[in-house]
Amino acid sequence: MWSFKYWRRRRILAGSAVSQEEWKQAEESLPLLEGLTDDERRRLREWATLFLHEKSLESVQGLVLDSEAARRIALQACLPILNLDFDWLRGWASVIIYPDAFVVDHEEMDSAGVVHRIREARSGESWDRGPLIISSTDVDAGRRRDGYNVILHEVAHKLDALNGVADGFPPLHGDMPREAWTRAFTRAFEDINQKLDAGHETPLDPYAAETPEEFFAVATEAFFEIPEVLAGAYPDVFEQLARFYRVWPLKMP
Ligand SMILES: [Zn+2]
């Protein structure tokens, strides 16, 4: 069936000036993509081409973003939707890249109801319907395969927010029972909080213990970067993410 959407996408892909060699160079600098098959690589390049066409990448505070860095950002941002569809990245238009961690002011209410003005440094941020904001330093740090990847983290928040607010409960596919998702994530969230309270080491970045949405974003980083660690610590969460992303990044026993 003819579809305007696919016709338009084919035109964008056909008009792209990026050569396969240039994509290959960007891919080779990202250990995260090592395990992809040729077919997956081809699809990821297509999503990344659409990404560079649809989203504006804006570097601020004097940062100069070269085109290979832009391709690296696009490839990583599209990895979570590799087996979904580009439509999953709808609803926001730009990526803002700071040279380094940036400072944000916000207000927070404590348990006594007192509002505090807080100033803190962040490596990434995602506003509902707003831009995806990342720092270049953290993007570079994310190239190691260590479970830390600010782009995957912020894109996870974007996917999470597709059904309203980011709350750790993204729109699930029709064949995914809500109860299984909630059970897996609630147990793991409680577990990491207990470990943290007891002063024990946590299998994921302790930031995951902050809120359910941060748990989902941190678990997404681990799922793509260090799947064996996530599968070992929280196999049910791993399985839910594999169903959600439609990716099976390692062989399960
Ligand atoms: Zn976050």
pLDDT at 106 (0 to 100): 64
pLDDT for 250: 62
Q: How far apart are CA 248 and CA 71, in angstroms?
A: 24
**Could you tell me the distance, in angstroms and rounded to a whole number, from the CA of residue 16 to the centre of ligand 1?**
32
Residues 41, 154, single domain; the answer is: yes
Q: How far apart are CA 180 and CA 156, in angstroms?
A: 19
pLDDT for residue 217: 97
Mean pLDDT in residue range 44-72: 94
Q: What is the pLDDT of residue 183?
A: 98
- Do 127 and 174 reside in the same domain of the chain? no
pLDDT at 194: 97
- The CATH number of whichever domain residue 49 belongs to comes to 1.10.472.150
What is the distance between the alpha carbons of residues 153 and 91, in angstroms, rounded to a whole number?
17
- Report how far residue 29's alpha carbon sits from residue 6's, in angstroms, rounded to the nearest whole number: 30
- For a pLDDT cut of 70, what percent of the chain falls above it? 89
Cα of 13 from ligand 1 centre, angstroms: 31
If asked whether residues 45 and 155 sit together in one domain, one would say yes
Domain final residue pick, 134, 163, 192: 163
Same-domain pairing of 198 and 85: no
pLDDT over threshold 70, residue 122: no
- pLDDT of residue 105 exceeding 90, the answer is no
Mean pLDDT for 78-99 is 94
CATH of the domain at 216: 3.40.390.10
Residue 181: pLDDT over 70? yes
Residues 145 and 207 in one domain: no
CB distance 97 to 55 below 8 Å: no
As a whole number of angstroms, the distance between CA 111 and CA 236 comes to 32
**Would you say 69 and 151 are in contact if contact means Cβ atoms under 8 Å apart?**
no
Measured CA to CA, the distance from residue 213 to residue 211 in angstroms comes to 5
119 and 217 part of one domain: no
pTM: 0.89
* Residue 222 and residue 103 share a domain: no
The region of weakest confidence among 54-63, 117-126, 149-158 is 117-126
Q: How many domains does the chain have?
A: 2
Pair (250, 134) in one structural domain: no
Among the candidates 130, 163, 196, a domain finishes at 163
Give the pLDDT band of residue 43 (cuts 50, 70, 90): very high
User: 106 and 213: one domain?
Assistant: no
Position 252 confidence tier, pLDDT thresholds 50, 70, 90 = very low
How far CA 6 is from CA of 39, 41, 63, in Å, comes to 19, 19, 35
220 burial (CB, 10 Å; 0-12 / 13-18 / 19+) is buried
* pLDDT of the residue at 99: 87
Q: How far is the CA of 227 from the centre of ligand 1 (A)?
A: 19
pLDDT of 103 above 70: no
**Ligand 1 centre distance from Cα of residue 198 (Å):** 23
CA of 154 to the centre of ligand 1 (A): 6
- Given the DSSP bridges, would you call strands 115-122 and 124-126 parallel, antiparallel or unpaired? unpaired
Q: How confident is the model at residue 140 (pLDDT cuts 50, 70, 90)?
A: confident
Please give the average per-residue pLDDT across 34-59, as a whole number.
Answer: 94
> Does residue 60 sit in the same domain as residue 96?
yes
Q: How far apart are the first and last CA of the chain?
A: 41
* Domain ranges, residue 189: 167-253
Q: pLDDT tier at 119 (50, 70, 90 boundaries)?
A: low
Same domain as 150, residue 39:
yes
Res 186 pLDDT > 60? yes
Residues 41, 61 share a domain: yes
Final residue before a domain boundary, out of 111, 141, 163: 163
| 139 neighbors 151 (Cβ within 8 angstroms) | yes
